Structure 1
């Protein structure tokens, strides 16, 4: 816990609990001071005594606004005011018994403007002693007066000290709590900004995967089909077979356009707009066989219930696997199979292409994207390949307990 003495000047913020409550203390101080002035004018005998008390009260009232600025609680001003306050109250107690009325504001102000609790205790003790000496000076020092004044001083000191220390602790805790709340609010704002940035990064990563799995693959297919058409044209200048290649290019371009519109609208894959995952997988297999390789697709009549994220992940992974076959495998045959095994949906894409070393199965953006997509739905990806022995990619998606019925074999 920090204390005002530990802080540098300026000490207190504008919304400090000390400052918010000070306006009422100002009103109370000047009210009591006005009452004392009225009492002095009406009840105090002796012109010299009356004049001395009024001058002392006037000096205190004049110095009060300039020395009691809590924003500078660690400077010399509040300490100077406490010294002036003790002197004024003590002088008034020496001159008249009515001077003790000032104790109503003196005790609270000592604790307000003392930098530390220790200084508050010392100032309170000095004030009690000075007032007691003034009362004894007026009433005499006989044993009865000594006992009476001594008891009053002791009670006043204990009461003021207990209340002052308690209030000081409450105010100090309020300041610490305010600092803690401000710190928590700042931390909450930082966390909100971090979550916002994390969400933006996740969205960018998702869009990157979508573009890679749709538009990039489509453009690759267009390039490959165009190159095949050009090669056919060179071999047969009359253009035999070219219309088929052009039709495939046109269909792929239209599919890319649909995917682009779906991405702009933040919808799911265009192939799934009707909720037909089986149809989308079948069309993928057919598109893979357009460039002359043999494509076999083994699908069940129905699929177990899948959520939208699961359907999208399965379709995108199948797209990526078949795209890899077209671009890299040089395979003559490719097979796409969907089955259920042990409560899981299993989608397998295999080819008889050139394959690649097994240690390379962890690299590449495409395979990494597939693993990421499947991990988001608690699925897994397994790649089995070897040079000259083709490649088999197996995607496993756990099914809900009510959707684990075995799919009939094709």
Structure 2
């Protein structure tokens, strides 16, 4: 919408500049013509004073705005009154009516502007007839024809602009509604997909575990071997269900990123949440991450930080942990350090107890 409105504002500004320039050119020419012929006339001081007053009033026009507010209407009335007095004293000032047509049409609605244009035209015709001394057909017909053409062109252009603005508003509203509908449909589709996947994987796995554990409970005294087999099968199903749950969680956007603000803000939120009286978590950033990062990258980095801090809290017995996000030209590095006891990676892993 802004791309369409900008040329329209430029066209209006250009037309306004042309009309203002034409007004002052016609006013100056009328003053020069009057002084050349009536320099010593009795009305000369009044003509000069009214010309200066009309010019000053016209210059003050932008200061009172363009909407038909009381101040703008009062200004327009003063301009028309000053011009009418000038036309009565010096009919040559009638040519200044053409820029005043534009001023009236811009200020007033068409129902009020058209009668004003007709009044200005009548004053101009009367003044020119008095100057000519006889009913010159050119004087009688030319000013009304010019006024009619100018008014018709302006009103038609104004209506076309109004229709175009209405169409643009409808288009923008329709695009917003379409975007909102697409978002809602996307959300519903994602919910349905997750519901199907949960039903086909986690829900089925939980149902199978429940049945196996119930069977194991019934057979525990009479057939312990079979019961243990049911328990091991249930454990295997639970392991697969846990893997599916982790996959779902990995695919979803983390809550700390869903609210906006980017990765760095999400890391600060995680650090604040993980900080306890026994553990202080800090965040340090080197460089500025590109905005925005791809959503999978932000999610992966945040999940890594959350998992690493969980390990620090549970196993490291640390008092301080630091998340360092380093942004290079073509890569982003996340370092998680702590002052805990750590472990020797070369040492053999402790034996694990067999699954019953």
Q: What is the CA-CA distance between 1:233 and the residue it aligns to?
A: 1.6
1:62-108: CA deviation from partner (whole Å, max 9, x where unpaired): 333556656422x4455545544444333333333432332342333
- Given that 1:82 and 1:123 are in contact with CA atoms closer than 8 Å, whether structure 2 keeps it comes out as no
Which of 168, 171, 176 in structure 1 is aligned with 2:155?
Answer: 168
Alignment gaps of 5+ in structure 2: 253-356
| Cα 1:255–1:227 shift into 2, 3 Å | same
> 3-state DSSP class of the match of 2:39?
coil
> Following the alignment from structure 1 to structure 2, what is the Cα–Cα distance between the partners of residues 123 and 67?
18
Give the structure 1 partner of residue 115 of structure 2.
122
Give the structure 2 partner of residue 183 of structure 1.
170
| Cα 1:242–1:112 shift into 2, 3 Å | closer
> Following the alignment from structure 1 to structure 2, what is the Cα–Cα distance between the partners of residues 23 and 139?
32
Which of 242, 253, 261 in structure 1 is aligned with 2:227?
Answer: 242
| Cα 1:156–1:240 shift into 2, 3 Å | same
1:212-240: CA deviation from partner (whole Å, max 9, x where unpaired): 2211111121122122222222335xx33
Which of 54, 60, 68 in structure 2 is aligned with 1:60?
Answer: 54
Map 1:93-172; keep pairs closer than 5 Å. Answer: 93-117=87-111, 119-140=112-133, 145-146=134-135, 148=136, 150-172=137-159
> 3-state DSSP class of the match of 1:46?
coil
1:161-220: CA deviation from partner (whole Å, max 9, x where unpaired): 122122212112202321331232023112201210221122112202211221111112
Alignment gaps of 5+ in structure 1: 1-12, 268-410
| Cα 1:250–1:131 shift into 2, 3 Å | closer
Q: Quick check: 169-178 or 107-116, which moved more? A: 107-116
| Cα 1:178–1:78 shift into 2, 3 Å | same
1:227 has 2:214 as partner: yes
> Following the alignment from structure 2 to structure 1, what is the Cα–Cα distance between the partners of residues 70 and 225?
102
Q: Quick check: 179-188 or 64-73, which moved more? A: 64-73
Give the structure 2 partner of residue 253 of structure 1.
238
Which of 163, 187, 198 in structure 1 is aligned with 2:185?
Answer: 198
> 3-state DSSP class of the match of 1:241?
helix
> 3-state DSSP class of the match of 1:235?
coil
> Following the alignment from structure 2 to structure 1, what is the Cα–Cα distance between the partners of residues 75 and 192?
65
Larger-gyration structure (1/2): 1
1:213 has 2:208 as partner: no
Give the structure 1 partner of residue 312 of structure 2.
none
TM-score (norm 1): 0.51
Q: Which has the higher contact order (CA 8 A, sep 6+)?
A: 1
> Following the alignment from structure 1 to structure 2, what is the Cα–Cα distance between the partners of residues 66 and 179?
32
> Following the alignment from structure 1 to structure 2, what is the Cα–Cα distance between the partners of residues 55 and 123?
24
- Given that 1:93 and 1:100 are in contact with CA atoms closer than 8 Å, whether structure 2 keeps it comes out as yes
> Following the alignment from structure 2 to structure 1, what is the Cα–Cα distance between the partners of residues 90 and 57?
22
Q: What is the CA-CA distance between 1:122 and the residue it aligns to?
A: 2.7
Higher helix share: 2
- Given that 1:225 and 1:249 are in contact with CA atoms closer than 8 Å, whether structure 2 keeps it comes out as yes
TM-score (norm 2): 0.58
| Cα 1:128–1:258 shift into 2, 3 Å | closer
1:342-381: CA deviation from partner (whole Å, max 9, x where unpaired): xxxxxxxxxxxxxxxxxxxxxxxxxxxxxxxxxxxxxxxx
> 3-state DSSP class of the match of 2:27?
helix
Q: What is the CA-CA distance between 1:27 and the residue it aligns to?
A: 4.2
Give the structure 2 partner of residue 394 of structure 1.
none
| Cα 1:244–1:106 shift into 2, 3 Å | closer
| Cα 1:58–1:14 shift into 2, 3 Å | farther
